[in-house]
C-alpha cells in the first residue's frame, strides 16, 4: 500500500579500480539542481531524451526510514527530487521522514516493502511510478549486518543477510535497470569492510562486495543511455547498524582510527550520494566503487 501524507501547514569497482572522489573536482556538482535537467545536458555524447518530462526528477531510496537511507532521502529531496521512502518494519519512521520532507517543501511518499521479496520490490517501484510517473535515481541502500566468527555464524543469520543484502539489492538493481530513465543514476551501498576485512565481518563483507560487481557490470550493460551506476562504500558511519553490539569505548576507539578522529554521520554519506546523483556534473563517475570512510582505509 502506498502512503501519502497530507500537506503540512507550512508546506510551500573492483577494489583495484576504485575511484576516491576528489572534493575539489566535484564541488560544483554539490550545487547542481536536480530540477528538470535534460539527459543530454550532461557531459558526454548527447542523446535524445527518453527521460523525465520537465519538472522535478524522482528518486527511490530503499531502507530510508533511518540511518544513511533517511539522510539520503532528505538530501535528495533538498536537492529537488521527489522521493519514495521505504522501510521494512518501522512505518512510523518512514512516515516521519516523509513529513519532514513535506514540511521543507518537498514531495515524498513512503512504502513498506521487504527488498528480499522480489514481488515486494516490484510493488515498491510500481508505487513510485504511480505517484510520480517514473524514476530517475535509485539508491539500493537497504541492508543488515550480522557479525560472528565464521565458526559461530548461524545458518539463520547468514541466510537472512544474503536474502537482504545479496539477493535484495539484486532485485532492486534489476528493477532499476528496467525502469530508470535515460540520464539517470543508480547507486548500490557497498562497504569499506571489503578492504578492511576484519574478523567477524566475512559473510557481511562478501554480501557488500557483490554491490561493487552489480554496479560495475550494470554500468556497462546500460551503455548508450547516459545512466551512471556506481557502488558507494561507506565506513564507520554512526548508525545503529554500526553501533549496535559495540561498547561506547569500542565506538570511541573506532572513531580514533580515522584521520578526522570521528565517526562518519549519515549526512556525510548522503552528501556523496548527492554528488553522484547530480544530473549535470556527476555522470562521468561510472562503474566505480567510491569509498567514503573518512580515510580509515
Ligand atoms: N553504518 C555503516 O557504518 C555502514 C558502513 C558501510 C556500509 N553501510 C551500508 O549502508 C546501508 C545503510 O546502512 P545504515 O547504517 O544506515 O543501516 P540502519 O541504520 O540499520 O538502517 C537500515 C535501513 O534499511 C532498512 N531495511 C533493513 N532491512 C530491509 C529490508 N529487508 N527491506 C527493506 N528495508 C530494509 C531499515 O528499515 P526499518 O527501519 O524498517 O528496519 C532501515 O531503513 C546498508 O546497506 C549498509 O550495509 C553502512
101-127, pLDDT tens digit by residue? 999 999 999 999 999 999 999 999 999
82 secondary structure, DSSP code: E
Q: Which CATH number fits domain 2-40+52-237+266-292: 3.40.50.720, 3.30.200.20, 3.30.2350.10, 3.40.309.10?
A: 3.40.50.720
Given ligand 1 and candidates 61, 68, 90, which is best to mutate, with the most ligand atoms within 8 Å of its CB?
Answer: 68
Segment 189-210 mean pLDDT: 97
Question: What is the C-alpha separation between 67 and 241, in angstroms, rounded?
Answer: 8
Beta strands in 221-272 (DSSP E): 228-234
The reported pLDDT for the residue numbered 81 is: 98
Ligand 1: does its nearest atom lie under 6 Å from the Cβ of 194? Answer: no
The reported pLDDT for the residue numbered 104 is: 98
Q: Which of 236, 195, 206 is nearest to 17 (CA)?
A: 195
Q: Which long-range contacts (CB under 8 A, 24 or more apart) does 120-126 make?
A: 121/168, 121/171, 121/172, 121/175, 122/175, 124/60, 124/62, 124/84, 124/86, 125/60, 125/175, 125/179
Question: What is the C-alpha separation between 285 and 283, in angstroms, rounded?
Answer: 5
Cell of 43: 557531459
φ, ψ at 231 (rounded to 5°) = -100, 140
Position 24 pLDDT exceeds 90: no
Q: 43-52: per-residue pLDDT in tens?
A: 333 333 344 5
Question: What is the C-alpha separation between 244 and 229, in angstroms, rounded?
Answer: 30
Position 25 pLDDT exceeds 60: no
Distance 143 CA to ligand 1 centre (A): 4
DSSP calls for 85-103: EEESS-HHHHHHHHHHHHH
The reported pLDDT for the residue numbered 4 is: 59
Residue 135, strand partner residues? 180
Distance 164 CA to ligand 1 centre (A): 10
Least confident of 10-14, 46-50, 206-210: 10-14
The reported pLDDT for the residue numbered 28 is: 32
Least confident of 25-39, 173-187, 213-227: 25-39
The reported pLDDT for the residue numbered 41 is: 29
Position 37 pLDDT exceeds 60: no
Distance 73 CA to ligand 1 centre (A): 13
Amino acid at each position: 500500500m502506498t502512503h501519502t501524507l497530507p500537506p503540512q501547514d507550512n508546506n510551500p569497482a573492483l577494489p583495484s579500480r576504485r575511484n576516491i572522489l576528489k572534493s575539489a573536482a566535484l564541488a560544483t556538482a554539490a550545487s547542481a539542481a536536480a530540477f528538470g535537467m535534460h539527459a543530454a545536458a550532461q557531459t558526454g555524447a548527447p542523446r535524445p531524451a527518453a527521460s523525465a518530462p520537465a519538472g522535478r526528477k524522482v528518486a527511490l531510496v530503499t531502507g530510508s526510514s533511518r540511518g544513511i537511507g533517511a539522510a539520503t532521502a532528505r538530501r535528495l529531496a533538498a536537492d529537488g527530487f521527489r522521493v519514495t521512502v521505504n522501510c521494512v518494519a518501522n512505518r512510523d519512521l518512514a512516515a516521519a521522514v516523509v513529513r519532514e520532507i513535506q514540511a521543507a517543501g518537498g514531495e515524498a511518499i513512503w512504502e513498506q516493502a521487504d527488498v528480499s521479496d522480489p514481488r515486494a520490490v516490484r510493488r515498491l517501484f510500481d508505487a513510485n511510478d504511480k505517484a510520480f510517473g517514473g524514476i530517475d535515481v535509485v539508491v539500493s541502500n537497504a541492508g543488515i549486518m550480522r557479525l560472528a566468527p565464521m565458526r559461530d555464524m548461524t545458518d539463520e543469520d547468514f541466510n537472512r543477510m544474503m536474502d537482504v543484502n545479496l539477493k535484495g539489492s539484486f532485485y532492486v538493481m534489476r528493477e532499476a535497470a528496467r525502469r530508470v530513465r535515460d540520464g539517470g543514476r543508480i547507486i548500490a551501498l557497498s562497504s569499506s569492510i571489503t578492504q578492511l576485512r576484519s574478523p567477524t565481518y566475512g559473510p557481511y563483507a562478501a554480501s557488500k562486495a557483490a554491490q561493487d560487481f552489480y554496479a560495475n557490470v550494470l554500468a556497462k550493460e546500460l551503455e548508450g543511455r547516459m545512466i551512471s551506476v556506481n557502488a558507494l562504500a561507506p565506513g564507520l558511519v554512526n548508525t545503529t547498524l554500526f553501533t549496535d553490539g559495540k561498547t561506547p569505548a569500542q565506538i570511541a576507539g573506532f572513531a580514533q582510527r580515522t584521520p578526522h578522529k570521528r565517526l562518519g554521520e549519515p549526512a556525510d554519506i548522503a552528501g556523496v550520494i548527492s554528488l553522484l546523483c547530480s544530473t549535470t556534473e556527476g555522470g562521468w563517475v561510472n562503474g566505480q566503487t567510491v569509498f567514503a570512510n573518512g580515510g580509515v582505509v
